[in-house]
C-alpha cells in the first residue's frame, strides 16, 4: 500500500536538459511520461481529447517504468514500445537505458511521477516488468485501435479491450498492469488494456510529479493545434459552400 501523508504536488521545471532532468528525478519504481513532435505522438494526443470535457488534446504519448541504476552505472527503464534500428526491430516489452530519452528533438516534453512506494513494492514492480521482458510480451498495435474505439464509446472503457490479444500490451497498458499487481489502480474504472498515457497522468492516487516543459515548445504545440483547427474549419466551410449550377 501507499504510505500515508503523501499528497499530490506538481513541480514544473524549465531550465534543465532532458539528461539533467532524468538524472535528477528518475528513480526505481517511478513512472516516466514522454511527448514528442511526430505524427504518431500527435495522433495519440488527438485521440486522448475524448478524455477531456472541453475536447482538449492530451499531453502525453508514452509511459514507462524506471528500473534504477545497475552495475554498469547506467539507469535503466522498462517499457512496451516499438523501436526500429538498422536491421533490427524491437517490438514489445523491453529494457532500455534512460539515455534513449536524452534526445530533445524526439522527446520535447518529459515527466516523472513518484508515488512514494515502499522498497518491496518497487522490487515487485521491477520483477514483474522483467518477467514480461523475459516472456517476450509483445507490443500491441491492435489493442491501440481497440482503445481508440473505447475512447469514442466511453461505455466500453471499463470492459475488456475489444481487440485484446494474449501476452500483448502497449505502453500505458503495461504500466497499468504492473501497478495493478501491487493493488494500485492508476485509472479507476478503466480496463487495463484501455488505459492511455493521459489516464495515468490524471490518476487520483496521491503522488509527486515533475514536469520538464520548455515554454517555447508548449507554445509551438498550441500554435500547431490552432492552425489545424483553422484548416479543418476552413475545409468544412468550403465543403458546405453551395456550388454554382
Each residue's pLDDT tens digit, 131-145: 999 999 988 889 989
Of residues 239 and 93, more confidence is placed in 93
What kind and span of H or E run contains 75? strand 75-85
Each residue's pLDDT tens digit, 164-202: 998 889 999 999 999 999 999 999 999 999 999 999 999
Each residue's pLDDT tens digit, 19-33: 999 999 999 999 999
Each residue's pLDDT tens digit, 145-173: 999 999 999 999 999 999 999 888 999 99
Q: What is the pTM of this model?
A: 0.83
Q: Is 96 helix (H, G, I), strand (E, B) or coil?
A: strand
Domain 9-237: CATH architecture, name and number where available: Alpha-Beta Complex (3.90)
Each residue's pLDDT tens digit, 76-133: 999 999 876 555 566 799 999 999 999 999 999 999 999 999 999 999 999 999 999 9
Q: Is 65 helix (H, G, I), strand (E, B) or coil?
A: strand
Query: Could you tell me where the DSSP H helices lie in the chain?
Result: 18-25, 39-47, 119-134, 141-152, 171-180, 197-201, 215-240
Q: Is the dihedral of CA 63, 64, 69, 71 positive or negative?
A: negative
- The domain locations on the chain are 9-237
Amino acid at each position: 500500500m501507499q504510505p500515508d501523508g503523501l499528497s499530490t504536488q506538481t513541480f514544473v521545471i524549465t531550465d534543465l536538459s532532458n539528461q539533467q532532468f532524468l538524472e535528477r528525478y528518475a528513480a526505481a519504481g517511478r513512472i516516466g511520461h514522454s511527448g514528442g513532435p511526430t505524427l504518431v505522438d500527435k495522433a495519440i494526443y488527438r485521440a486522448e481529447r475524448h478524455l477531456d470535457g472541453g475536447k482538449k488534446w492530451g499531453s502525453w504519448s508514452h509511459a514507462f517504468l524506471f528500473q534504477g541504476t545497475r552495475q554498469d552505472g547506467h539507469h535503466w527503464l522498462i517499457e512496451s514500445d516499438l523501436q526500429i534500428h538498422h536491421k533490427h526491430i524491437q517490438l514489445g516489452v523491453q529494457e532500455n537505458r534512460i539515455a534513449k530519452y536524452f534526445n530533445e528533438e524526439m522527446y520535447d516534453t518529459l515527466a516523472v511521477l513518484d508515488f512514494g512506494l515502499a522498497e518491496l513494492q518497487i522490487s515487485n514492480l521491477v520483477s514483474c516488468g522483467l518477467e514480461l521482458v523475459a516472456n517476450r510480451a509483445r507490443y500491441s498495435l491492435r489493442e491501440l485501435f481497440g482503445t481508440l474505439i473505447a475512447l469514442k464509446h466511453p461505455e466500453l472503457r471499463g470492459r475488456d479491450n475489444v481487440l485484446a490479444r494474449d501476452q500483448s500490451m502497449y505502453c500505458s497498458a503495461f504500466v497499468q498492469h504492473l501497478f495493478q499487481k501491487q493493488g494500485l489502480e492508476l485509472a479507476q474504472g478503466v480496463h487495463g488494456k484501455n488505459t492511455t498515457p493521459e489516464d495515468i497522468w490524471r490518476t487520483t492516487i496521491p503522488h509527486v510529479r515533475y514536469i520538464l516543459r520548455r515554454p517555447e515548445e508548449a507554445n509551438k504545440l498550441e500554435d500547431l493545434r490552432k492552425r489545424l483547427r483553422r484548416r479543418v474549419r476552413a475545409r468544412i466551410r468550403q465543403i458546405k459552400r453551395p456550388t454554382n449550377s
